[in-house]
Amino acid sequence: MRKKLFIVESSVIGPQYLSKAAAELDLESIFLTKLTNQEGDALKGLVNSNFIVCDTEDPKQLIDVISRFKKTEIAGVVTFLDSRLDLIAKICARLKVPGIDPAVLRLKDKGAVARLIPEYSPRTIEFHCDKIPFRKIDSLLKDNANGLIVKPRFLAGGKGFRWVRNRQDLNGLSQEIHKLPKGLKPHLMIAQTKAPGELVSFEGFVIEGNTTVIGVTGRRKIGSTESAFLFPYDEYLPKKSLDFCHEAINALVLRAHFRTGFFHTEFMVHQDGNVLIDCNFGRPGGANIAEILSSAFDLDPVTFYKNVLSIQLYGKPSIPALSWKKPPRRSLGIAYGVAASTRVLGIQGPKIFQSTHTMAVNRGANVPAMGASNWAWVGLLAGRPSQVLSDLYQLKILTERGSESPCYSME
């Protein structure tokens, strides 16, 4: 009998790849999901997989479901959702099963990360949203011409993110935070100096404390919404910035005692200085970064996810180390949406996509404008740049307002 791998919820592209990847490791995948958390192709993939409906924000309920199975039947518990990482790390520790490194319990907290590696982090004030330290925040604001970033310490998907340029920008913060999902622990906040520069992320993994950086992704956003992912991007960064980012990642691994798992660590790089803004340890990058990396290294995404699961469950890669040494091909990811909030009825595009296309929302869903958060995506494309752009130029989004061109940005 195959052992059971419990996968808590799914990223927007995950189910179809994860089920096959688990099977290649001779494991039976069981998704634990609310279902109402899922949309688009991810929802289709889940309902065509083996799943159990439960409250995935309730640790007791998750433990009750998993504990129905004998300990000898359980291969591990994993998640690819940023908002569930610390919860699943706790469950893995509680049940004494592999999946998420226990160091994630500390690294998921953005305030704790700033305390752990202050020399690589923005200046930070931690506070409870019911007791906002306006005097301290005002003082920090006066010292930083770029303003401040205020966000939940357990931020996910850009929800609750706010750029504070003056005292007025803090008005209404408490009311806004109270509307956020409880899983993001929205009452626990940080204010950090806003760093100038360009957003990039370092993709890689750690095995027994040894770090492998797969490469750097260039990132483009519209407001708080991710919109473009360019890989590889290493050549566009000065050596000083590359060295700083490598040092920061190694310091995190060492000081947090992170032993095994993936990371997708975000930096702002600038000629006047670099800074780590999100450590994102415990999973590979979200959106369609797994497909982008697979395209760059000529891998099937199933092979990529098999490697992820093998590392997280067994501490052993299924892809040879030399595979990451060869020069990657240029690959592009686009996350697109609508310029103004509307009800999305569907899409029209090429009969056969040259790139990989993922529908991120259900047809008929009300979708916020690009810029609100990563819940504003209508769809995603990944592959060679020429293929992605060819498909993108043929796409039309059907809305209650009529047909619209996709809203995205590569600038």
Distance between CA atoms of residues 409 and 411, nearest Å? 6
What is the pLDDT, as a whole number, of residue 146?
86
Sequence spans of domains, the chain: 3-100, 123-193, 198-324, 337-404
Whether 123-193 and 3-100 are alike in CATH topology: the answer is: no
Calculate the CA 216 to chain-centre distance.
15
The Cα 197–Cα 331 span in angstroms is 23
Task: Please tell me the predicted confidence (pLDDT) of residue 169.
Answer: 76
CA pair distance 389, 380, nearest whole angstrom: 12
Domain 198-324 fold is D-amino Acid Aminotransferase; Chain A, domain 1 (3.30.470)
Task: Using the predicted structure, report yes or no on whether residue 172 has a pLDDT greater than 80.
Answer: no
Q: Considering the entire predicted model, what is its pTM? A: 0.94
The amino acid at residue 142 is K
- The torsion of the CA quartet 43, 51, 158, 174, rounded to 10 degrees, works out to 120
Which of the pair, 227 or 170, is modelled with greater confidence?
A: 227
Give the integer Cα–Cα distance in Å for 219 and 235: 14
Backbone phi, psi, residue 257, to 5°: 60, 40
Q: State the DSSP string of 196-258.
A: PSEEEEEEEEEETTEEEEEEEEEEEEETTEEEEEEE--GGGS-HHHHHHHHHHHHHHHHHHT-
DSSP state of 298: T
Name the CATH code of domain 3-100 (choices 3.40.50.720, 3.30.70.20, 3.30.1380.10, 3.40.50.1370): 3.40.50.720
pLDDT tens column, 53-92: 999 999 999 999 999 999 999 999 999 998 899 999 999 9
Give the residue among 320, 324, 321, 158 at the shortest CA–CA distance from 231: 324
pLDDT at 181: 67
- Tens-place pLDDT, residues 78-135: 999 988 999 999 999 999 999 999 999 999 999 999 999 999 999 999 998 878 888 8
The mean pLDDT value of the chain amounts to: 93
What confidence tens digit (pLDDT) does each residue in 282-331 have? 999 999 999 999 999 999 999 999 999 999 999 999 999 989 999 999 99
Residue 344: pLDDT band (50, 70, 90) is very high
Q: Which of 15-29, 171-185, 225-239, 307-321 has the lowest mean pLDDT?
A: 171-185
Q: 159: pLDDT confidence band, cut at 50, 70 and 90?
A: low
Do residues 176 and 160 make contact, with C-beta atoms less than 8 angstroms apart? yes
Strand-pair partners of 78: 7
Nearest to 378 by CA among 397, 391, 392: 397
Number of H helices, E strands in the chain: 12, 20
Q: Which residue has the higher pLDDT, 172 or 320?
A: 320
Question: Omega before 232 cis (within 30°)?
Answer: yes
**Options 3.40.50.150, 3.30.1490.20, 3.30.70.20, 3.40.50.1970; CATH of 123-193:** 3.30.1490.20
Residue tagged 């008005």 (tokens): 171
Average pLDDT over residues 230-247: 97
pLDDT for residue 158? 58
- Closest Cα to residue 68, out of 52, 88, 90, 83? 52
